Amino acid sequence: MSRAQRLFIADDWRDSADGAVLPIIDPATEEQIGSVPVATPTDLDDALEAAEYGARHCRRLSAHERSACLRRMAQGIRKQSDDIARSVTLETGKPLAESRAEVLATAEHFDWNAEEARRVYGHVLQEREADTRFEVRYEPLGVVAAITAWNFPALLPGRKLSAALAAGCSVILKPSEEAPSAAFALAEIAAAAGLPTGALAVVTGDPARISSHLLSSGRVRKLSFTGSVGVGKLLMQQAAHGLTKLALELGGHGPVLIFPDADPEATATACARAKFRNAGQVCISPSRFFVHRSIAARFRDAFVRYARDLRIGNGLDPEVEMGPLTNTRRFEAAQALVADALAGGGKLLAGGGRPASQQRGFFFEPTVLADVAPEARILHEEPFVPVAPILEFDDFDQVLARANALPFGLAAYLFTNDLATAEHAADALEAGMVGINDFALAAAEAPFGGVKQSGIGREGGALGIREFLEAKTLKTVFRGN
């Protein structure tokens, strides 16, 4: 095995204790391109022991020492950005330009949290009596378990890791077994940057067994998870036994409200570009398009033109604009969602299946639907596929009710040139993030997270590091003359 396909525990690269591995598949060719080790309980116990050792040493580092280490990691990520981006494309299928942007965004999180490490301010309370003082300090939680998904295999681990290390915690990172190479690259970079031994472990294998073992150990003080609502609920139940703190970034089903004063063609182009990014496999992807009836026809026509003109193929080709879905599960989900919508009376405007030019790989055409029935699965289940249902509306209150009807509340979007409409709609939308005339919600300086069943807690921004800190109150009574 190569170094990038081995467990990283206590600054050591090693095979799993029993040598078991899982295949890594290139979604553009369906060929095996590597393998990833399956961690055993012994491996996980070693990672826990190392993480406890690392946590003790991390908390003793000064804020400036942690900051300097994170800066070096950011520099290391940028130096290796081309290699990491290529591995991301090989494992996920996304176009190389999107992979490069993801890797550079990951470096930004390390730069941001390098500064946040020096901004963890406590405070002193006004005394009740002249010889007393209350003080509040913030201390690292300790060992953190971070579990991430496959759709952003560099950014998701980096966002968690940078904040946890900035706070002075150690991390056991479990990336997706389908796209692990970027996480292992982060481990290499962390070791070269001088991170204390044991501060970071990277383990792979059976997700359910790993999460259960870590959460039942009594050693993990915080779980940070990005993934589906169903798995998030299961982890929440497991964490309850040890009252383990949680941060959950779960599913979404982003509504887009396009009001009558918006430019239909320009808005449709922006919507389609955002929808088909990473083949729709983005948690904050716009996925329900509510268009005012007065501009709906022009919007649909422009959206369809964009979908039909997209260049589909292997993400390593610089001319490709949309790659395959990452795995066969998403391909089958796309087929099922489209079939269900059409069976209920929906109209297929573009796409709908495998491109004729791609007979291998998990490729699915950019797909546009109209006249979708209210009960269609695509309007209720997080799609995570390149399928866009376009719906019409007439009334402001009605469209707000439809947008808020689902249990999801991660991201929502609206397009209008009227300030009053924008403010009213943004206030009414039940989402942790709202984009007004824009889809670029994820940034190192901005809190990222949802409401309702889309999650608990925030990542990024000034709030991100707080997820890994505990407040301690001190009272001092001064004795003396």
Q: Which residues contact 72 (CB under 8 A, 6 or more apart)?
A: 192, 193, 194
CA distance linking residue 364 with residue 477, whole number of Å: 69
**Residue 216, amino acid:** S
Residue among 69, 169, 283, 459 flagged as catalytic: 283
The b-or-e profile of 328-347 (16+ CB within 10 A means b, else e) is eebbebbbebbebbbebebe
The b-or-e profile of 136-167 (16+ CB within 10 A means b, else e) is eebebbbbbbbbbbbbbbbbbbbbbbbbbbbb
Structure token pair of residue 309:
């003109």
Residue among 102, 177, 249, 321 flagged as catalytic: 249
Q: What angle do CA 392, 282, 316 make, to 5 degrees?
A: 120
Q: Is 313 left (phi over 0), alpha (psi -120 to 50) or beta?
A: left
Q: Which residues contact 469 (CB under 8 A, 6 or more apart)?
A: 120, 138, 139, 140, 141, 167
Q: Is 283 a catalytic residue?
A: yes
Structure token pair of residue 186:
């982060």
CA distance linking residue 271 with residue 383, whole number of Å: 16
Q: Is 249 a catalytic residue?
A: yes
Question: Which residue spans within 52-95 are E strands per DSSP?
Answer: none
DSSP string, 288-334: EEEEEGGGHHHHHHHHHHHHHH--BS-TTSTT-SB---SSHHHHHHH
CA distance linking residue 220 with residue 252, whole number of Å: 27
Q: Are 266 and 243 in contact (CB under 8 A)?
A: no
Q: Are 331 and 281 in contact (CB under 8 A)?
A: no
Q: Are 67 and 118 in contact (CB under 8 A)?
A: yes
Q: Are 221 and 143 in contact (CB under 8 A)?
A: yes
CA distance linking residue 458 with residue 442, whole number of Å: 12
CA distance linking residue 120 with residue 136, whole number of Å: 11
**Residue 74, amino acid:** A
Q: What is the DSSP letter of 459?
A: B
Q: Provide the annotated active-site residues.
A: 249, 283
